[in-house]
Amino acid sequence: MKHTQALVIGNWKLNPGTTAEAKLLYSQIRKKVSKNCLATVVIAPPFLFIPEIAKTIHPKIALGAQDMHYEERGAVTGEIGGGQLAAFGVQYVLIGHSERRALGETDTQVNKKVHAALKRKLTPVVCIGERTRDGQGQFYQDVATQIKALTTGLTAVQLQKVVIAYEPIWAIGTGLNATAENVKEMQLFIVSTLTKLFERKVAEKILLIYGGSVKDSNARELYTQGGMSGFLVGGASLEATEFAAIIHATELGN
Ligand code: PEP
């Protein structure tokens, strides 16, 4: 079921290059998000910019991180733990982004991260999606496998704190967005898969968002017809006017 309050997340990936540029981009976005904004807006900058951005956080923009480790301490060189993120005011964390999975992240690690994030009261935004689409619809099975893995060991109460981002890999950063019809069909499929694992009334409450080449020009149609409750935005979140237009597309209602 579509949530009344949309969620729009900007994933800056490995951008911009300096703290000064990050502060500037953040302040440009800040100016464009009104205090009465109807959507929940999240910015996920690179880790190193989080402390600076946290100093000027807008009441309507929550802080996100692009990844986390499932361990809180120990011999895991180069990693950041959930407790460290929470200490800087981070509220959302992307988990299992396809660009992390491409570097070797497994479904088992994704599941461990979901549990670790919830333990720290961070909202896990778990990315799932097929690499390509075959004519027979086999790609739905890849998505079902990811859903099963990410939800392993979760109670119904925990699941309701998880956001699922459907991000078909072929649509990320390519300019080729899924159609609103593709998104709607996947929304129904995700709910039916979750219903097999939990109860229908639980499955219907899970906040689902879409990501993959969302821009000003396609946001409105994807939002009204795709059946999902918001967006995970990469490239277009690096341009304040474009990102604000995407947020606005969700504020006009269904
Ligand atoms: C992403 O990074 O999650 C993403 C969806 O990127 P883009 O919007 O650039 O396709």
Instruction: Name all domains of the chain by residue range, CATH numbers in brackets.
Output: 7-252 (3.20.20.70)
Q: What is the DSSP string of 69-117?
A: BS-SSSS-TT--BHHHHHHTTEEEEEES-HHHHTTT--HHHHHHHHHHH
What's the pLDDT at 3?
86
What's the pLDDT at 40?
96
What's the pLDDT at 80?
98
What's the pLDDT at 240?
98
User: Per the structure block, which two tokens stand in for 38?
Assistant: 């109807």
What's the pLDDT at 105?
98
Ranges of residues in the chain whose predicted pLDDT is under 50 = none
Q: Is 167 a catalytic residue?
A: yes
What's the pLDDT at 59?
86
Rounded-to-integer distance, Cα 21 and Cα 36, Å: 26
Rounded-to-integer distance, Cα 164 and Cα 125, Å: 6
pTM of the full structure: 0.97
The predicted-structure confidence for 14-71, as pLDDT tens digits, reads as follows 999 999 999 999 999 999 998 899 999 999 999 999 999 999 888 889 999 999 999 9
What's the pLDDT at 233?
98
Q: Which residues pair with 81 in a beta bridge?
A: 69
For the Cβ of 164 lying below 6 angstroms from any atom of ligand 1, the answer is no
Which among 7, 8, 9, 13 is the best mutation to test ligand 1's pocket, defined by most ligand atoms within 8 Å of the CB? 13
What's the pLDDT at 182?
97
User: Per the structure block, which two tokens stand in for 30?
Assistant: 């800040």
Name the amino acid, one letter, at 90. V
User: Per the structure block, which two tokens stand in for 20?
Assistant: 């000064």
What's the pLDDT at 153?
98
For the Cβ of 177 lying below 6 angstroms from any atom of ligand 1, the answer is no
CA trace torsion 228, 230, 236, 242 (10° rounding): 120
